[in-house]
Structure 1
Amino acid sequence: RQDVIDLVRSAQLQWPSHLEWHPDVWDRWSRKFGVVSGHKSWTELLPDLLKFESTHEKAAEDPETQERFLEERKKRQDSAEQLAQVIRQIHEAGLEWKKCRTAQEHRRWLNRMGAKWIRDWDSKSPHMQTIRKLVNALEPLDQLVHATSEAVSEDKVPARRGAKLSHKDVLRFLERRFREEPISWGDHGGVAFLDFMQARGLVFDHVFLLGFNADQVPRPATEHVFLSDMVRRKLRTLTKRPLSLASESMGEEQLLLAQVVASAKQHLSINWQRANERGTAKAVSLQIEEFASFLPQGEQPLSLDERMQAPPPFGPDRVPTHPGLAALRAEKRWGMLSELELALASSYLAKGQGAQACAQSFARLEAPAFTRQDQFAFVEAIESSTGDRRYDGDPGRPIAEEPLYSASSLQRLAKCPLQYFFRDVLHVRPLDDPAEDLRLDARELGTAVHLILERVFQDLIKPDSQMDLFSSAGPLALTSETSKRAEKSLERHWNSVMEPLGNRVRKRYPVFWDAAAKTWKKELREFVAKDLKRLHEMGMRPEAVEAKFDTKLHVPGNPAFDVPATTMRIRGSLDRLSRKESGELLVSDYKTGGNLDNWIMPKNYLNGNYLQLPIYWMVAEQMTDGAPVASELLGLGFSFLPDQGFVRKGAHSLPKTFSKHRPGLEEALAVFDSLYRKGRFPFHGPARPCNYCEFKVACRRHHIPSKNRVEEHPEHENYFLSTQRQSKKPTLDALAGGKP
């Protein structure tokens, strides 16, 4: 998948002019639909999935929305067909290449491909001329392979079968030649970036060896594509020529290194990484010992380990990773700084003393006239304990729009306000995860299961005509007819809802899909049967499914802690509502994954980590005239096999102590809402959830100055205190010992 996306994004290739090129869109589709590998995934599967893509089940009820969706689907399908056309051409060209057996055939094929696909293939630029020269240099390989085959045929050394050149042989040969061939750019002075092979025989005023790490120097030994060490030894004996062997490449590597070192007339600098981009330590090449004889010596000879730890001039000069220190080092060593480096060095010298101190440090560095106050302010804002907190995700002013919450977004605000700010205020949407083989998207599968249960119970609620949302009908009558109707409804809706998902997976993994579908159907049958029986025994009657609500919750604040009372508008839908004749209301929510115990623990809903069930309880309470309310979670699916879930262990309900903890929960909701209204969105969260956060690349929680600014801000104190709520200390008064 990624190879194809990289290919269509390449600026070096030219594409048919009549095509509309949208590589970013294709990347999103491949992630969404699970395209992993294989040309048929692009040429057949992806266009089919877009062709039969269905709109959201609710949007399908709106003719205007449906018409707009069909128009967009046609455009997406056409775009996918265009991509498929290109992939077919490349695939067919690859099959043609595999049929080539001689160097002449390979050369002609490569020239045709270059003229068709590579931008400026016929240009006279030095690098294109070099590439064409290397491709045309394939021609003598026929004679080489034939001669090699004859030379070894008299011995026990195995000859190449039929003296044919495969496309893999040619590819390896060209890759090696591209690495070794110097490209003539012309010598106009300045800076040249070369590898050891390209630099041999040349002389420079200054030489910088970059990447002098153990995994780079010396290069790993690899045998020649066509002349293995076994063949070369035989040819040595027959021709009396000193052919090199991969097993003897260390001597060649040392000679190359010596030539590069000798090419420096004035200055030689050896540089290596202490760690890679992930922070993993990297070792310097052991070839560093070759420089020991002309490095500065102390009173006593130094071992390699001692020299690596010694300060300059006897040991290496460590380049600071802090940008301010690195800029100061550059100023001290070279006497030159860019404008950005100048700002960084000045701000570091000022050390949080403000923009005025930065300006004074400019004068200390004898900088030219330079008044970029915006750079001063920028560095001050991100590196000092005061300044502009917008770099920490703090807008600095109340949000103009009145908040409209859902249970999940309110939970997101409680867990990490900064994540809520990115997703629900700025409406940032991260790119989908790359596709993985044999992956069934949990969200997509969960939506499908919810939809099946919604339609099954909808058929039971209104088999013939629409019923009122809160009817006074009696308890559910569990009869054989009810069970048959539920079974028939489940079978019908399974086919219509699961068909798009099944079409996608079954094409590649028919056995896997059949097994998964069989398990899911069995789980749903048992779930519906047990649930109907339970509702009958409880005297409950299913009253509404996917019941939409848009209501206001009035929650008291805590004036002592400057937490005002507030009214929160909350919108969403309840998976199912059931009611007794006495008026008692039961809210049921389906879950297809996760640890359900976490949702009903008082500590978890008091500190805001799991708010959905309590929120639904409070919403349902407003739908009754003082009648009792209960809320429950019903788990089903693979995540609960073999011994968990509703079918095996029953429902998960809020504890009886919820009424006792409710004041603390309402106070916590008031604290969370106050963050939005003040425009305060501090980052927060333990390490594990942060590792899976969609916005971790934009978060500054690991930046120490930002962390200090956020945690020490007085308007964040109530929030951080609220995240510590527990059943024994559910309120701010209890947490703070009564002291605001």
Structure 2
Amino acid sequence: PDAAPAATDLAHLRRYIFAIDRPPERMRAGDVRLFSAPGEGREAVEIVRRLLDEAAAGVRFDEMAIFLRTPQQYLGLLEHACARGGVPVYFDRGTRRPDPAGRAFVALLSCAVDGLSAKRFDEYLSLGQVPQVGYDPPPPQPVIPDDELFAPLAGTSGGAGAELARPEDAAGVHARPEDSIVDSDDDAVVAGTLRSPWKWEELIVESAVVGGRSRSDGKARWRRRLAGLAADYRIRIDALRRDEPESSRIRRYERDLKNLDHLREFALPIVDQLADWPEHATWGEWLDRFAALATRGLRRPARVLRTLADLRPMAGVGPVSLEEARDVLHDRLVTLDWEPPARRYGRVFVGTPHQARGRSFRVVFVPGLAERVVPQRPREDPLLLDDRRHRLNAALVDQETRGSAERLLLKISIGAAGERLYLSYPRLDVAETRARVPSFYALDVMRAITGRVPDHRVLASEAAEEAGASLAWPAPGDPDRAIDDLEHDLASLKPLLDSRDPASVKGHAHYLLQLNDALRRSVVSRWARGRPAWSTSDGLIKIAPGTQAALDRHRLGHRPYSLSALQRFASCPYQFLLSTIYRLEPWDEPEPLVRMDALTRGSLFHRAQAEFFREMEPAGRLPVKREDVPRAMTALEAVLDRVAAEYAEQLAPAIERVWNDEIDELRRDLGIWVQKLADGGVWRPTYFEFSFGLSDEGRDPRSLREPVVVDGRFVLHGSVDLIEHRADLDVFRVTDHKTGKNRSTPDLVIGGGTVLQPVLYSAAVGEGLKKKVTAGRLFYCTTAGGFVEHEIPINDYTRGQGLQALTIVDRAVEHGFLPAAPAERACTWCDFRPVCGPREEQRVARKAKDKLADLDALRGMR
């Protein structure tokens, strides 16, 4: 007999659900409710919200239940939502959670199966199961199979609330010694993760790209590509030390190089071990190899070893391939089964409709009443279709029987409810970003309750209104119904943000700033940056007692600067502060070494130019004459081949065809450049890669070891690509070779402070060599730059422009005024945009202009 009163929705639902006869029309009583939410995750949150509402009304947790037709979709989401809301829950079938050690071991096996895939090895590293480098594992202990280990525990009777011990605890597994060691920057392993360059696996390139999928090919590829990557880092460091010695990127690449050494030290022995495995072996041989790998490659190998011990009876089976062995181990290792507590009381019951048989609860939840979820789409057996089944045996299951079984599951779930029933469905498929509609079961439920079949659009609208859940704002309308602090805060903020009268809500929700210091700092900073007055949130704006001495050390007369670093000031003083004074490291997005890195390309190009000049000078073939161009081209070919071969030997390019194509592009550009040299007339190349204040290799032997002081005030260091001499006038010309696009203007001198090399390199060379320099030149010597020359005469005016730029930069450092004040479109290419955030140019436009007079004057210089 039905225990529900006859006048309730629940009683009518039980009586008329799926009935052929038309139910009597009536008004709803409200004890059966249908709601929807945007996605299964939000649906689980809304269920927890109603669980808490029922508990506040006096219903015990163990008097409520959730029945899942598709537990694989909802178990994890419900577990997370109940944890957020603090709702104790009893999963009748237990739960499955990822096992990091098992996943790491399977990733290593997949690495071997996929030809020593770098991405698979990186997946292993990312799981935090790397043992401490240099740690010697203790002698192997006997591993007890699970059936022997847990048999004594199965008969143990636990008291109220007693739960089965964790498998790791039962096995007596303890943390390795490194787990309690405080890490330092020099440690190779931190918290079970190997220090390695970010996205290194993309830098060394996957085997599928290189070709050769066997493990022997992969072994050679690992050593070749890791050595090439180390060489590439060294070339980048050398290029930066030559052109911008104080660049913060140098420390970044040095750290990546050190981390790469950690990776090579740890990874290559494991790669060698995997590469030496056979293609096929018996299970006993595989288990021995797997056990050795687990002990070597995992911090906590006990569960993996126990699983391998469970398979020991199969030792004589085989031979089987590594892929087959990996597939057998996959499901046993990647997840860990957690048994439910010994007693379910005091917890919300979660199970399938089959587990509702013989049980009764005051409140029941049935989620998932959406198309293709509840009911599941019935499918015929493709090997024995229904028409053939009927001919064989009428008792065989057919489509009609499957449909009846689906309806029965819903009836069982409904029948377990004593007082209230909540039905729900996800109105959005988040994975496929498409809308969902309620299933026809939801229509039949409304028909049984009201006696009318509702319009599906009306039903969907009412269900969405019932829940009040929005995808745009993950919080309820009433803060008191929030399941955790996050929802409460969002629910409190929503009406304040939507208010049309800001004055009426001013000061509300101030408690958030008291609870969260980071939020308070962010809000105060955003408010200050939006005001017309300059503040400390806009960057460095004034000298403080504690910063005076520190800034004095960075004035242009107290430490050497490169011109590349000083040019940052014109783009944005704050960028200059972060990169040159604070030396923060910009975040680089690694790219596969399929194409040549820009720094590597520029380094190779300039190296080939310098080597060409050094090849030609002893033979007396400089300057290049028009009639000598063929011989010069031959010399260039030999130089480029030699330099490219040296770089290829160091870098081990991933794809030889791509590397050769890039070298051919350089060959073309350098060939045109040599032909342009023949038009140089009376200028004779004299110094090549001439440096001052730098000590790295590959410079002109006549370079100056000490920095140069220009105008008696400004200390500079740097490297000049080419210095030419005109013998008839005994004067010199400085040339800076550019490999990028030509963005110069016809009247350019210092380009508003962004092109300082021609003028100030000339001043530095004149001061350092005690020679007269009459011209500075920009030579765009690639196809991208159009092989355009831009010569700037060095006279009192142009020299004064360069010195004025240095004076403005030095004055800004002296006064401590280095705010975020970007030039037009400077933020588009800025490495430090994440520091400032978006719309920085708009904020600066509202600031007081008087303090930017020096900067505006600098940007106005031609």
User: Could you say which TM-score interval applies, normalised by the shorter chain?
Assistant: 0.5 to 0.7
Q: Indicate how the Cα distance of structure 1 residues 197 and 300 shifts in structure 2: closer, same or farther if over 3 A, else same.
A: closer
Q: 2-side partners of 1:315 and 1:480: how far apart?
A: 86
Q: Indicate how the Cα distance of structure 1 residues 81 and 109 shifts in structure 2: closer, same or farther if over 3 A, else same.
A: closer
- Does structure 1 conserve the Cα–Cα contact (< 8 Å) formed by 2:476 and 2:482? no
Amino acid at match of 1:283: R
Residue 599 (str. 1) matches residue 744 (str. 2): yes
Matched with 1:27 is 197
Unpaired stretches in structure 1, ≥5 consecutive residues: 62-68, 143-162, 465-473, 555-565, 733-740
Specify the SS of the correspondent of 1:575: strand
- Does structure 2 conserve the Cα–Cα contact (< 8 Å) formed by 1:602 and 1:658? no
Q: Deviations over 1:307-357 (max 9, x none)?
A: 56x897357432655xxxx78957343396479949995997999999x98
- Does structure 1 conserve the Cα–Cα contact (< 8 Å) formed by 2:204 and 2:592? yes
Matched with 2:818 is 680
Residue 533 (str. 1) matches residue 685 (str. 2): no
- Does structure 2 conserve the Cα–Cα contact (< 8 Å) formed by 1:307 and 1:314? no
Superposition map of 1:183-198 within 5 A: 183-186=338-341
Superposition map of 1:657-696 within 5 A: 676=813, 677-682=815-820, 684=822, 693-696=830-833
Matched with 1:443 is 599
Amino acid at match of 2:847: H
Q: Indicate how the Cα distance of structure 1 residues 342 and 317 shifts in structure 2: closer, same or farther if over 3 A, else same.
A: closer
- State which of 521, 545, 553 in structure 1 corresponds to 2:688: 545
- Does structure 2 conserve the Cα–Cα contact (< 8 Å) formed by 1:456 and 1:486? no
Q: Deviations over 1:79-104 (max 9, x none)?
A: 625421112223445x54xx3699x9
- Does structure 2 conserve the Cα–Cα contact (< 8 Å) formed by 1:217 and 1:287? no
Q: 2-side partners of 1:621 and 1:170: how far apart?
A: 73
Specify the SS of the correspondent of 2:566: helix
Residue 453 of structure 1: how far off its partner (Å): 1.5
Residue 85 (str. 1) matches residue 244 (str. 2): no
Superposition map of 1:10-25 within 5 A: 10-12=127-129, 18=135, 21-22=188-189, 25=195
Q: Deviations over 1:684-732 (max 9, x none)?
A: 4667x75665444444125xxx77654433268738984996xxxx469
Residue 8 (str. 1) matches residue 159 (str. 2): no
Amino acid at match of 1:571: H
Amino acid at match of 1:632: L
Q: 2-side partners of 1:522 and 1:583: how far apart?
A: 34
Amino acid at match of 1:426: Y
- State which of 449, 465, 470 in structure 2 corresponds to 1:318: 470
- Does structure 2 conserve the Cα–Cα contact (< 8 Å) formed by 1:605 and 1:665? yes
Q: 1-side partners of 2:709 and 2:414: how far apart?
A: 76
Q: 2-side partners of 1:618 and 1:332: how far apart?
A: 72
Q: Deviations over 1:105-142 (max 9, x none)?
A: 9889877866765554545xxxx89x949986998xx9
Residue 588 (str. 1) matches residue 735 (str. 2): yes
Q: Indicate how the Cα distance of structure 1 residues 121 and 194 shifts in structure 2: closer, same or farther if over 3 A, else same.
A: farther
Higher RCO (CA < 8 A, seq sep 6+):
2
Q: 2-side partners of 1:413 and 1:379: how far apart?
A: 28
Which is further off, 480-489 or 38-47?
Answer: 480-489
Residue 380 (str. 1) matches residue 524 (str. 2): yes
Q: 2-side partners of 1:627 and 1:678: how far apart?
A: 34
Q: Indicate how the Cα distance of structure 1 residues 615 and 16 shifts in structure 2: closer, same or farther if over 3 A, else same.
A: closer
Q: 2-side partners of 1:602 and 1:290: how far apart?
A: 78
Residue 712 (str. 1) matches residue 856 (str. 2): no
Residue 334 (str. 1) matches residue 482 (str. 2): yes
- Does structure 1 conserve the Cα–Cα contact (< 8 Å) formed by 2:567 and 2:756? yes
Q: 2-side partners of 1:213 and 1:418: how far apart?
A: 54
Residue 612 of structure 1: how far off its partner (Å): 4.7
Q: Indicate how the Cα distance of structure 1 residues 693 and 429 shifts in structure 2: closer, same or farther if over 3 A, else same.
A: same
- State which of 252, 266, 283 in structure 1 corresponds to 2:434: 283
Q: Indicate how the Cα distance of structure 1 residues 526 and 337 shifts in structure 2: closer, same or farther if over 3 A, else same.
A: closer
Specify the SS of the correspondent of 1:599: coil
Q: 2-side partners of 1:343 and 1:694: how far apart?
A: 36
Residue 40 (str. 1) matches residue 183 (str. 2): no
Residue 553 of structure 1: how far off its partner (Å): 6.6
Specify the SS of the correspondent of 2:737: strand
Matched with 2:837 is 700
Which is further off, 435-444 or 500-509?
Answer: 500-509
Residue 502 (str. 1) matches residue 648 (str. 2): yes
Larger Rg: 2
How many aligned positions are there? 626
Matched with 2:570 is 414
Amino acid at match of 1:333: R
Q: Deviations over 1:494-539 (max 9, x none)?
A: 52x43442125667534444554455446535533x244223x2x1
Amino acid at match of 1:420: F
Matched with 1:559 is none
Residue 653 (str. 1) matches residue 808 (str. 2): no
Superposition map of 1:419-434 within 5 A: 419-430=575-586, 432-434=588-590
Q: CA RMSD in A?
A: 6.7
Residue 170 of structure 1: how far off its partner (Å): 7.0
Q: 1-side partners of 2:639 and 2:803: how far apart?
A: 43
Q: Deviations over 1:534-587 (max 9, x none)?
A: 23x2x1111222233555677xxxxxxxxxxx9765432221111323245432
Q: Indicate how the Cα distance of structure 1 residues 133 and 452 shifts in structure 2: closer, same or farther if over 3 A, else same.
A: closer
TM-score when normalising by structure 2: 0.53
Matched with 2:65 is none
Q: 1-side partners of 2:498 and 2:229: how far apart?
A: 58
Amino acid at match of 1:631: R
Matched with 1:402 is 555
- Does structure 2 conserve the Cα–Cα contact (< 8 Å) formed by 1:344 and 1:379? no
Amino acid at match of 2:125: V
Q: 2-side partners of 1:257 and 1:601: how far apart?
A: 81
- Does structure 2 conserve the Cα–Cα contact (< 8 Å) formed by 1:602 and 1:661? no
Q: Deviations over 1:630-681 (max 9, x none)?
A: 4121313xx54xxx743xxxx3215899999999888777666665553433
Matched with 1:454 is 610
Superposition map of 1:505-520 within 5 A: 508-514=654-660, 516-517=662-663, 520=666
Specify the SS of the correspondent of 1:402: coil
- Does structure 2 conserve the Cα–Cα contact (< 8 Å) formed by 1:579 and 1:586? yes
- Does structure 1 conserve the Cα–Cα contact (< 8 Å) formed by 2:188 and 2:262? no
Residue 424 of structure 1: how far off its partner (Å): 2.3
Q: Deviations over 1:263-296 (max 9, x none)?
A: 99776776788989xxxx9434345786577799
Q: 2-side partners of 1:723 and 1:122: how far apart?
A: 70
Q: Indicate how the Cα distance of structure 1 residues 345 and 632 shifts in structure 2: closer, same or farther if over 3 A, else same.
A: same
Q: 1-side partners of 2:795 and 2:410: how far apart?
A: 74
- Does structure 2 conserve the Cα–Cα contact (< 8 Å) formed by 1:599 and 1:605? no
- Does structure 2 conserve the Cα–Cα contact (< 8 Å) formed by 1:200 and 1:260? yes
Amino acid at match of 1:533: A
Q: 2-side partners of 1:394 and 1:463: how far apart?
A: 55
Superposition map of 1:19-168 within 5 A: 21-22=188-189, 25-27=195-197, 30=200, 34-37=204-207, 39-40=218-219, 43-46=222-225, 48-49=227-228, 80-93=264-277, 96=279, 99=280, 117=297, 120-123=300-303, 132=307
- Does structure 1 conserve the Cα–Cα contact (< 8 Å) formed by 2:228 and 2:651? no
Q: 2-side partners of 1:138 and 1:284: how far apart?
A: 51
Q: Deviations over 1:210-262 (max 9, x none)?
A: 9x999x979999x9xxxx975576999699797999xx999999999999999
Q: 2-side partners of 1:681 and 1:633: how far apart?
A: 33
- Aligned-residue identity in percent: 15
Q: Indicate how the Cα distance of structure 1 residues 611 and 25 shifts in structure 2: closer, same or farther if over 3 A, else same.
A: farther
Specify the SS of the correspondent of 2:679: helix
